[in-house]
Amino acid sequence: MRRETITGEAHLVSVLAANAREHGHEIAMRERDRGIWQEYSWQTYLERVLCAAAGLEALGVAPDDKVLIVGDNRPALYFGMLGAIALRAVPSPAYPDFTPEQLLGQIEREGVRFALAEDQEQVDKLLGLREQYAGLEWIVYDDPRGLAGNTPQGVIAFTELVRRGQQRLQANPALREELLTRPQADDVAVLLHSSGTTGAPKGILLKHRHVLFAVRSAAEAGYFEPGETHVAYMPIAWVGDFIFSIAAALALRFSVNIPERQETVQRDLREIAPTVYFTSPRAWSTMLTRVQVGIAESTRVKRWLYERFMPFAIALERRRLAGEQPGAGQRLWRAIGEALIYGPVKDQLGLARARHAYTAGEAIGEEIFLFFRALGLPLRQFYGQTENSALCAAQDLDSVKLHTVGKPFPGMEIRISDSGEILVRGGNVFDGYFNDPEASAETLRDGWLHTGDAGHIEDDGQLVVLGRVSEIVHTRAGARFIPTFIENQLKFSPYVKDVCVLGDGREHLAALVAIDWEAAGHWAQERGIAYTSFADLSQQPRVYDLIEGLMAAVNGKLPEATQIRRFVNLHKEFDPDDGEVTRTRKLRRGVIAEHYRDIIDAIYAGRDAVESQAQITYETGESGVLKRHLAIRDVPPIGAAKAAA
């Protein structure tokens, strides 16, 4: 890494300027637009950022102003974010599928006067909010479709903003250098937000020094390298995108590639062939399902080859993780499999060039983890939160375990409190929440970030994450359990998309299950099971048998007192628009308990079915009621108690 990122005086704009100065003609960013890749060099990148900054300042953006960013990944949104940062203003990204109410809450809490939106959909949403919040002065939009030539008062195209900024820079040449030197390392670079599982999301302020320290430490640990090819598809509102697509991309000169649409990510991913790739366990599971479905629908020869080589590779990887070295014959067979199966599968997934592959956010299933490592992907787990700039600990290439998340990066410390909570200290840790001194004081104590996660450190220094401390609960008889731990075990199955484990203060554990529509649907089709809808599929007796088998398998790893005794297959998925999960799909247990109260009451009343009425929210914002007859199934006891996994 260059000196600018090593010293404590660096900020994101100075790093961008150094890239433009030293590597000006190299490609910094690509965007697929109408099937054609549009390229931006580092010089162009910097020019767009400075023009955006000058244009935003002309609109009235001042230091400490919060600038709302809403939409999918687009170069203009990244240019606009860094333009705001150059003015010492603070970009505040929001999820593009936020409801108007959620967006209004963020705008009001932060006193937002300016917004940068991707397209007409987001502009219309913001214009509708002006009736309730008159403080929104300007809306800048990127995609002109539906807006060009018909812009309301206070709405301006990003291209026009850049044009005005360019005129200011030409009229005042000194302004360019001034914009490069305004930001400071201790300025806030971005205002991100917590999941809000128990209330309104908390604002998380990350400074330049936080994110650059995190990137530097991760790079020193070999987490990623200069010149990586990266695909920007994660939500802009998520810390992972800010760290990968902006902070690391600038500090390590990544080539950032933006798919045409979210719907084309998989196609574009294959064309991009990134060298570094990070996604959630849920996405890795979806990839595995897609491979399995594709193999099942392929030719007999391909199925025969897959069935010979994949079990071998998985068994070989399992032995490798146990410390065994493959023999000459195994290496030869592995090389043949690389040519016939492993390489082609990686190519189809777009991961043929990936030399750094990661999973984080929740536990990943052993079957999923072993499958991708068996393909030859160096898949590793890492641990981080928004409060510690997403980068805190990761597995080394030579010390991968199925149940750990690795060791802390250089310059970062991890210890376990007396209560079993994971504590973190380092230059990557934030300084406090936005306008919430009480929460800040509770989270930051004696120089340590109290993560709220429960865990322990093994003898070799690797961290094991068990779940949220706040979610440690007890049955009526006093048996202690962590719902998320059990839920993750169930979600290791491709047939379960979401599950909520019940039992706090109850006589036994039970579960509300939302099946995975694609995986369970394919499973049913292979067995000739007819169905007409998600609700119909979920209530098929053989699908219940499938889920019951999964429950029994997980129960076999749990103490008898915390085994699941009853479950229901829900007739719909948990939906963020209904408030049941966050945008990152973390459960809002209070909302779920309220929405499914009739089902929960029926489970614990010992009934074998229930007529349920579920509240649903349509894309228009209107709500309705979905009625369905749901079966309630018992899970036979496993027998002797076993130690928790």
- Residue 215 pLDDT: 96
Tens of pLDDT, residues 596-643: 999 999 999 999 999 987 666 665 566 667 778 999 999 988 753 333
- CA pair distance 20, 240, nearest whole angstrom: 24
pLDDT in tens, 460-470: 999 999 888 88
> If pLDDT is split at 50, 70 and 90, which confidence band does 140 have?
very high
Beta bridge partners of 455: 465
SS (H, E, C) 63-128: CCCEEEEECCCCHHHHHHHHHHHHCCCEEEEECCCCCHHHHHHHHHHHCCCEEEECCHHHHHHHHH
Segment 151-195, tens digit of pLDDT = 888 999 999 999 999 999 999 999 999 999 999 999 999 999 987
**Closest of 225, 177, 220, 161 to residue 21, by C-alpha:** 177
Residue-wise pLDDT tens digits, 347-379: 999 999 999 999 987 778 888 899 999 999 999
Alpha-carbon distance 37 to 267, whole Å? 13
Which pLDDT does position 4 carry in this prediction?
A: 43
Rounded CA gap, 426 and 408, in Å? 10
- pLDDT for 554 equals 93
Provide the pLDDT confidence category of residue 8 given band limits of 50, 70 and 90.
Answer: low
User: In the predicted model, what is the mean pLDDT of the chain?
Assistant: 91
Q: Kindly report the three-state secondary structure assignment for every residue of 376-424.
A: CCCEEEEECCHHHCCCCEECCCCCCCCCCCEEECCCEEEEECCCCEEEE
Residue 99: per-residue pLDDT: 86
Tell me if 452 sits within 8 A of 421, measured CB to CB: yes
Pairwise CA distance, residues 451 & 97, whole Å: 27
State both tokens at 309.
């080589």
Helix (H, G, I), strand (E, B) or coil at 635: coil
Element (H, E) at 486: helix 483-491
Determine the Cα–Cα distance for residues 495 and 540; give it in Å rounded to an integer: 14
**Confidence check: pLDDT of 265 > 80:** yes
* Residue 86 banded pLDDT, cuts 50, 70, 90: very high
Q: What is the pLDDT of residue 199?
A: 65
pLDDT one-digit tens code per residue, 195-227:
765 567 899 999 999 999 999 999 999 999 999
* CB count in 10 Å sphere of residue 234: 19
Mean pLDDT across 277-300: 88
Q: Write down how long the chain is.
A: 645
pLDDT in tens, 228-240: 999 999 999 999 9
What is the pLDDT at residue 195? 77
Q: pTM above 0.75?
A: yes
Residue 5 DSSP symbol: H
Do the bridges between strand 203-207 and strand 229-231 make them parallel or antiparallel, or are there none, so unpaired? unpaired
> What SS3 state is found at 35?
coil
At residue 515, the pLDDT reads 96
Residue 417 amino acid letter: S
Which comes out higher in pLDDT, residue 262 or 539?
A: 539
Cα(93)–Cα(609) distance, rounded to whole angstroms?
Answer: 44
H or E, element range at 609: strand 609-617
Q: What percent of the chain has pLDDT over 70?
A: 95
The overall longest dimension of the chain from CA atoms, in Å, is 81
Cα dihedral across residues 530, 536, 542, 546: positive or negative? positive
Question: What pLDDT was estimated at residue 196?
Answer: 66
CA–CA gap between residue 628 and residue 351 (Å, rounded): 42
d(CA 503, CA 475): 6
Q: How many CB atoms are located within 10 Å of the residue 527 CB?
A: 11
The pLDDT of residue 198: 59
Q: Which two tokens stand for residue 246?
A: 């902006």
Please check whether residue 482 is in contact with residue 467, taking contact to mean a CB–CB distance below 8 angstroms: yes
Contact at 8 Å (CB) between 516 and 496? yes
Q: Please give the pLDDT value at position 397.
A: 86
Arithmetic mean of pLDDT, 448-468: 92
User: Using an 8 Å Cβ cutoff, are 367 and 337 in contact?
Assistant: no
Instruction: Give the list of residues 6+ apart from residue 20 with CB closer than 8 angstroms, or none.
Output: 42, 43, 45, 46
Q: Is the pLDDT of residue 41 over 50?
A: yes
